[in-house]
Amino acid sequence: MKPFTPLHGLVAPLDRANVDTDAIIPKQFLKSIKRSGFGPNAFDEWRYLDRGEPGMDCTNRPINPDFVLNQARYQGASVLLTRENFGCGSSREHAPWALEDYGFRAIIASSFADIFFNNCFKNGVLPIVLAADVVDRLFQETLATEGYCLNVDLAAQTVTTPSGEVIAFEVDGERKHRLLNGLDDIALTLQFTDQIKAYEERRRVEAAWLFA
C-alpha cells in the first residue's frame, strides 16, 4: 500500500447522500479478476450516457455533461467532498480501488458506511469525517471558488482551507500509523503467530466442534 503523504488537492463536490458502492462501481466491472484499472468506470452509470461494459474503451464513450465530475473545473481532483453515509451497500473493495484509480486520495463526508470506511484504509485512501455543518460550508466554498483546493495532513490530522482555516479531524491511531507508513497488515498480524496458535490450542478444547 502507498503511504499517505500530505496532500494539496483540488476538491470535487458530489452533493448526494447515501452514495452506494453500486453507484461507485457498477456490478459488471466486478467481473475483473484484477485489482487495478477500475478508475475509468468509477461512477460509470452517472458519468457516461451509454451502458458500460467491461473491456470498453472509455475514452470514446459519450460523457454525461450533467454529472459534476465531468465538469472541466473538477478535472484532476484528488479530494472528493460528499454527504452522509457515503459508500453504503455492498462490501466490494472495488469501490475504493475505483476511487483511488480515478485519482482520489481523500474523501470528506459527514459519515461513511462501516465496511467502505474500513476498505479505504487498506488502499491508501483517507476517509475524513467532518461535522455536517462544516461539510456544508466546504460545499459552498468549493462551488463558489473555481480551483478550490484543500490541504490534507494526516500526521497532523488537519484539513486546511485556502483561507488558512484549519479543521481538525479524528482518526484511529492504529489506522493512521498504518496509512502513514503504507504498512502491510498481514505482515504485522503474522507477528502474532504465537498468540494465534495459543488461542487455537485453547479453543480446540473449549469449542472442539469448531475444529472437527
> Should residue 195 be labelled a site residue for another protein when binding is judged by CB under 8 A?
yes
- What is the 3-class SS of the chain, one letter each residue? CCCCCCEEEEEEECCCCCCEHHHHCCHHHHHCCCCCCCHHHCCHHHHECCCCCCCCCHHHCCECCCCHHHCHHHCCCCEEECCCCECECCCCCHHHHHHHHHCCCEEEECCECHHHHHHHHCCCCEEEECCHHHHHHHHHHHHHCCCCEEEEECCCCEEECCCCCEEECCCCHHHHHHHHHCCCHHHHHHCCHHHHHHHHHHHHHHCHHHHC
Binding mask 136-165 for another protein (x = CB under 8 A): ------------------------------
Residues numbered 105 to 124 that lie near another protein (CB under 8 A) are: 111-115, 118-119, 122-123
Residue with cell 466490494: 92
Burial of 16 (0-12, 13-18, 19+ CB in 10 A): middle
Binding mask 86-105 for another protein (x = CB under 8 A): --xxxxxxx-x---------
Q: In the bound complex, what is the minimum distance in angstroms from residue 195's beta carbon to another protein?
A: 5
Q: In the bound complex, what is the minimum distance in angstroms from residue 36's beta carbon to another protein?
A: 9
Q: Which of 7, 16, 158, 167 binds another protein (CB under 8 A)?
A: 16
> Should residue 37 be labelled a site residue for another protein when binding is judged by CB under 8 A?
no
Q: In the bound complex, what is the minimum distance in angstroms from residue 108's beta carbon to another protein?
A: 15
Q: Which of 146, 172, 201, 204 binds another protein (CB under 8 A)?
A: 172
Q: In the bound complex, what is the minimum distance in angstroms from residue 132's beta carbon to another protein?
A: 9
Interacting residues with another protein (CB under 8 A): 15-18, 20, 22-23, 26-28, 30-35, 45, 51, 54-55, 83-85, 88-94, 96, 111-115, 118-119, 122-123, 172-174, 185-186, 189-190, 192, 195-196, 199-200, 203, 207-210, 212
